C-alpha cells in the first residue's frame, strides 16, 4: 500500500530521506534541501515523452515511458534498498503525479517502504512562499557590518560551529556580494533553491529569538533576499567588525588564492571597475595580478575602492550596538556570543 504524506507532516519524520524522481535539469533548478536525485526519466527522455504526449496521445506517451523506465528498475531498486536503511524515504516529483506514483508502486511491490509527498515539489515550494509571505519574520537579527576582509564570514562560520543560530547568506547564494563575489565559486543557485535552503536552515533554530547574518544588499549575486528578512536586517542590532589593513589583506589573499588559477576571473571582474578607478589604474592592477603580486593588488583595491565604497570605521565606534576587533578571532567569537546570550536572556523575560 502506498503511503502518502503532506508537507506539514514531514516534520514528524525523524530521519527523512528525500528522493527527487524528476529529471536532472528539474532537480538542478530547485529541489527540497538535502534531496538526492534518482530520475525515472532523464532530461532527453522527458522531452521526448512530452512531445509524444502532445503530438500523438497520452497512451502512446505512457507506453514509451514504460519502455524507457523498465531497464532502469533493477538499479533503482538497489539504490532505494540502501536509502531505506538510512531513514524514511520520501518520494516526490513536480506535483505528486505519475512519476512519483509509478516509483512508489514499484517499491511497494518490492516490499520497500516509502512515502509519497502529496502535491510533490510544487506543494513544498508553496510552503516556502507561505513562510515568507503569510507571517511576520520569526527572529530578531544581529547584523555584522564592516569593511571588506574584516572576517565577518569567518565569524559567522565560527558561530555556526558553536551551534549558534547564524546564517551565511553568501554561502547560500554562492556569491560574496561584491564585484569579485563569484570568483572561484562556480554556478549560483536559482532563487527558488536559495529560498528553500534559507528557509530550511532557519527552521532548525528552534526556540532561538535572535539570528546572526552578515550585512548584505537586497541582491546577493543572482538571488534576492526575501523582503521580510531584509526588513528585519535593517531594523536589527548592528555590530561593527573591524581589523587592521594588513590582516584584511592577508585574509583576502588566502581566500582567493585557494582556488585554482583565480587570475582570469579576477581580471574579468577588475575590468568592470574601470569606470570608477580609471583605465590606467586598472591596467596597473592587472599588471600586479599577472605578476602574482596579490598582496599589492588586494591592498590597493581595499584602500582605493572597497573602503571608499562602504566607508565603515576601522576602529570601535559608538554608533553601533557593539564593536568587535577581529585581531584576535577567539576573543571576537567570545564577545559576540556573550552579546547573543544577553539578547536571548532579555527576550526570555
Q: Is the pLDDT of residue 95 over 70?
A: yes
Alpha-carbon distance of 263 to 184, in angstroms, equals: 10
Q: What is the pLDDT of residue 285?
A: 85
Please state the pTM of the whole predicted model: 0.88
Rounded alpha-carbon distances, angstroms, from residue 338 to 71, 317, 324, 325, 344: 59, 19, 12, 15, 10
Q: What is the pLDDT of residue 188?
A: 80
> Of 261, 296, 265, whose CA–CA distance to 281 is shortest?
296
Of the candidates 17, 21, 89, 93, the residue annotated as catalytic is 93
* Annotated catalytic residue 215: no
Q: What is the pLDDT of residue 292?
A: 82
Kindly state the percentage of the chain with pLDDT values over 70. 93
pLDDT in tens, 147-190: 999 999 999 999 999 999 999 999 999 876 565 555 545 678 99
Q: What is the pLDDT of residue 301?
A: 87
Alpha-carbon distance of 152 to 178, in angstroms, equals: 14
Q: What is the pLDDT of residue 268?
A: 73
pLDDT in tens, 97-155: 889 999 999 999 999 999 999 999 999 999 999 999 867 788 999 999 999 999 999 99
Please give the torsion angle defined by the CA atoms of residues 175, 271, 263 and 224, in that order, rounded to the nearest 10 degrees: 10
Residue 96 pLDDT class (50, 70, 90 cuts): confident
Residue 288 pLDDT class (50, 70, 90 cuts): confident
Q: Is the pLDDT of residue 216 over 60?
A: yes
Amino acid at each position: 500500500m502506498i503511503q502518502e504524506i503532506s508537507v506539514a507532516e514531514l516534520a514528524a519524520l525523524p530521519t527523512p530521506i528525500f528522493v527527487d524522481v524528476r529529471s536532472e535539469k528539474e532537480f538542478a533548478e530547485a529541489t527540497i534541501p538535502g534531496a538526492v536525485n534518482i530520475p525515472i526519466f532523464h532530461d532527453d527522455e522527458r522531452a521526448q515523452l512530452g512531445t509524444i504526449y502532445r503530438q500523438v496521445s497520452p497512451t502512446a506517451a505512457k507506453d514509451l515511458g514504460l519502455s524507457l523506465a523498465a531497464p532502469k528498475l533493477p538499479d533503482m531498486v538497489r539504490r532505494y534498498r540502501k536509502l531505506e536503511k538510512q531513514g524514511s524515504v520520501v518520494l516526490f516529483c513536480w506535483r505528486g503525479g505519475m512519476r512519483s506514483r509509478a516509483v512508489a508502486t514499484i517499491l511497494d511491490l518490492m516490499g520497500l517502504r516509502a512515502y509519497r509527498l502529496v502535491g510533490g515539489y510544487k506543494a513544498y515550494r508553496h510552503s516556502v512562499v507561505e513562510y515568507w509571505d503569510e507571517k511576520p519574520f520569526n527572529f530578531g537579527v544581529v547584523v555584522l557590518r564592516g569593511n571588506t576582509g574584516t572576517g565577518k564570514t569567518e565569524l559567522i562560520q565560527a558561530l555556526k560551529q558553536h551551534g549558534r543560530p547564524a546564517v551565511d547568506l553568501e554561502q547560500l547564494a554562492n556569491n560574496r556580494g561584491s564585484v569579485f563575489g563569484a570568483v572561484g565559486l562556480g554556478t549560483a543557485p536559482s532563487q527558488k533553491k536559495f529560498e528553500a535552503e534559507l528557509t530550511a536552515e532557519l527552521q532548525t533554530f528552534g526556540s532561538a529569538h535572535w539570528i546572526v547574518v552578515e550585512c548584505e544588499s537586497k541582491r546577493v549575486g543572482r538571488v534576492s533576499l526575501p523582503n521580510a528578512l531584509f526588513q528585519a536586517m535593517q531594523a536589527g542590532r548592528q555590530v561593527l567588525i573591524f581589523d587592521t589593513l594588513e590582516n584584511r589583506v592577508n585574509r583576502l589573499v588566502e581566500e582567493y588564492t585557494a582556488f585554482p588559477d583565480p587570475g582570469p576571473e579576477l581580471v574579468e571582474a577588475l575590468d568592470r571597475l574601470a569606470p570608477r578607478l580609471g583605465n590606467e589604474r586598472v591596467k596597473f592592477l592587472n599588471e600586479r595580478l599577472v605578476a602574482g603580486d596579490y598582496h599589492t593588488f588586494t591592498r590597493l583595491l581595499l584602500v582605493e575602492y572597497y573602503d571608499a565604497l562602504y566607508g565603515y570605521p576601522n576602529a570601535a565606534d559608538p554608533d553601533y550596538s557593539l564593536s568587535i576587533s577581529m585581531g584576535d578571532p577567539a576573543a571576537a567569537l567570545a564577545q559576540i556570543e556573550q552579546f547573543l546570550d544577553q539578547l536571548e536572556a532579555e527576550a526570555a523575560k
